[in-house]
Every structure is written in structure tokens, then in C-alpha cells.
Structure 1
Amino acid sequence: MIIKLLKAHKQKEDFYAFYKKIETHVPEVREFISRSLKAAENEGKLDRGYYDPQGILDEVYLAVFSEFDSEWDEKALRYYLLKIAVDKLDEKKVLEATVSTPVSTGDLLNEELSRLKEDFTTDGDGDLILNTELDDISYKQEKRYRHDIYMDEIVENPILEKLKLDDAFQLSARRRAFFGYLYSTIPQISKTIFELQVFGNQSAPEISLIMDTEEEKIRRVLKMITERFKRV
């Protein structure tokens, strides 16, 4: 039904009606953009408030309006919306060079999967810390473990809910800071995969289409990130 209505709006060049129909029918696109932007701001990858989620959403809808194919079904529409949303967000992020590389997403994920295996322990003061940081000269000299990475509730709450940590996570500020720190250390493509699952409400098969990589690799990324958080 929605495809038929969108086709009619497209034929009339009625972008406003087209826009409102998609916005009502696929609200997860707005949620994904808003929360992914906020997460990037929390980590200092984007200036806070510099990018407007509505502006990015407008870009996504305009692209879909231009490329709309009446042969799409609802699943294809949702896939295309989120794929464009990922591309638009990547353009805004500091790691844009990584995303624009000609190397395939699958090849990049091979490297990221090895980085996700990093373990963490406690230091002499009882602070949680990644093992790799114990060899960091700046840590040894100044103990510069980043205790100040707190995520906004719009980012933190859906993650805690998805991982079923919301009850157990009413803990100390130090533990919440480490949770934010762990999130900041997830490699960029893996983080996009996780955000598509949590903020975009997408399944592993759907994410594999959006990210153009193997479903098995998507599942491994999601499993490793989940395990990392559940050890906090």
C-alpha cells in the first residue's frame, strides 16, 4: 500500500506528501540518525549540536525521492532508507576516510573483529581498563584513563535495554563512564552495525544487505560487542 501511495506522490512531484508518508511508516530511520549523531557527539567525533538530525533526514528523504523505484517493496524501501542514512552519517564523521576506502566492508571487518577481541581487566585502583592500555606510556605517566565519556540517555538507554542491562546498570558513575569508554573504542564499521541493530531496529540479515557484507560476519560483530558490554 505505501509503495502505491509513494508512487502517486512521486508522479505528482509532491515531495512534502512523499516525505510525510515515509516518516510515518518508517520511524526507525529518524531514531537511527538522531541516536547515532548523539553517540558521535558524546565521543567528540562531531561538534555537539553542529549537525541537525532533521537536516540529515531531509537529505535521506530527498535522495529516496530522487531514486524512488515503483518496483520496490516495503523491505527494499526500508533497506534503501537506512543505507543512505549510513552513508550520510559517515560523510559527517571524522573517520570518513575509512568509510570511503575502496577496500570492501568485509575486508575492513576482518581487522575490526581482531580489535574487538581486546580484553579488559582492573588496575591497582580497581578501575576497569583495556589490557592494551596498560602498555600505553601516557597511561603509565599520567593514568589518563578516560573517566569522562558519559553517553546521553538517548544513546545509553536503548543500548542498555537491547542488552538487557537496564536493571543491573543502576551502578556507580565510574562504571557508567567505563561503559561510555567501551562504546567509544568500538571500531567505526562495527559501531555502525551495532547502531543499525539497536537504533535502527534491524536484524542481522537486514544489516548484511545495508552494509553489503556477509551475514555471518555481521552476527560475529554483534555477538562480540554484546559480550564486551555484558562483562562490564
Structure 2
Amino acid sequence: QYTPFSVYLSPLISHISQHFSTSRFLAIPVVIATMPRTTIIFSTILFMLLSVVITAQSSSSDSGKPKATKLMVEACKNASINYPYGDPFSQEFCLSTLQSDNQSAEAKDLRALVLVAIDTLKSHVTAAGGKIKKMLQDAKKGTVMMPVLSFCEVDYDHVVRRLNVCQGLIRDYQGDKSGRQPLRLTHCVEMSFTPLNKCSIGLEDMPGVEVLSKENVELQFMVQVNTGLLASYDVHD
């Protein structure tokens, strides 16, 4: 005996009608109950396709940024409180910095998170240093910009070398038996602030380097984040 196709679709249509009795995507109301069978089938397929598209868009919008873990939130909270120099940075900036690297979501402890944060800082400094090198190639000899960019190039290279040393110290650090915080590690990273600040002063009021100046300020904030994370760091935790 022939069974109408609508019998197989009726459970699905019933489910959809509960949630989409009126269209959320069109200005014209769609009342499923009053539609002809062909229109109902077409609408069912349309709603299914729309659901797939919306789900895919939602997934893709979140895929580029890892979700903040409990460790990340707690670390940023403590880092902003324990930052030892001047005004603290915001917890939001700290989280944004950590979330810019997917490895931060995989960190199991604060040591691993600190190493990821330093990696993130290094990659940003290296990228900015590459832009400086390109600007030096394009700059005319004898201009005011040449010596300023040259000093910034040296400063940025110095920061990368220092951060490499700091990472090695952090990896090898086994804790202070006296129970004191590893202040030398904090100082190691914090000293990266000075060369970045020197470059920033040289770039002040210089035309054509606005993007570089903005990146430099962001790098200084990232140094503060790393310093705050290390100030909270204790391998005994």
C-alpha cells in the first residue's frame, strides 16, 4: 500500500512548526499549518538548510579564539593584582593576550601559561621588528627617520634575545627553597620594557609611524602582562 510522503515528514514538520511557526528570517509570516503540502516540504528543507548555515557560522566565529579557561581567568586576576610596577593592566587585556595563542587553552599550570605568554610576546615583537626592517629599507638615507628606526631595530632584537633567555630560566627553575617568589625571573622579563620604551620615545611626533607607535604601546602592555604573571608565579602551587 502506498504511504504518502507527508507521513514521514509530519514529525519533522511538527517539530519545526513548534520553533518556526513564523519566520525569523523573512518579514512575511509563514504559518505552516495553512500551507499546501509542496510548500511545507520546501519550507522544511529551507529551514534545515538555514539551521546548518547558522550553526556553521556560529562555529566558525568562535573557532579562531580559544575559550578562556579557569586557569587563564585566575592567572589574569592575580597578575593584575600582583603587578609590582605602577598602575595594573586590565584583566581583559591579559585574557585577550593569552587568547591570541591557542596553546594557552592547553596549559595545565601557571608555568606553562607563562611560557605561552612569553611566546606570544616574542612573536609580536618579532613581527614588529620585521616591519621596522622593511621601513628601514624604504627610508631615505639622511632622514630623521633612519637613526630612530635603526635604534628601534636594535631594541627589538635585544628584547627577543632577552625573552629567549628568560624562557630558558623559567623552564629550568625548580623553586626557591627559602619560599621566596622568583623575583629574578620577574625582573628578567620586566627589563624588556625599557628598550621598547626607548623606541617609543624616539617615535614620538614622527610622521608616518603611527601604526608602529601603536604596536609599540601594545607590546609594552604585553610585557606588563608577562611581568604580572611571573609575579604571581610559584612552582610550589
| TM-score category of the 2 structures, normalised to the smaller one | under 0.3
Q: Which has the larger radius of gyration?
A: 2
Tell me which protein shows more helix as a share of its residues. 2
Structure 1-normalised TM-score?
0.27
Structure 2-normalised TM-score?
0.27
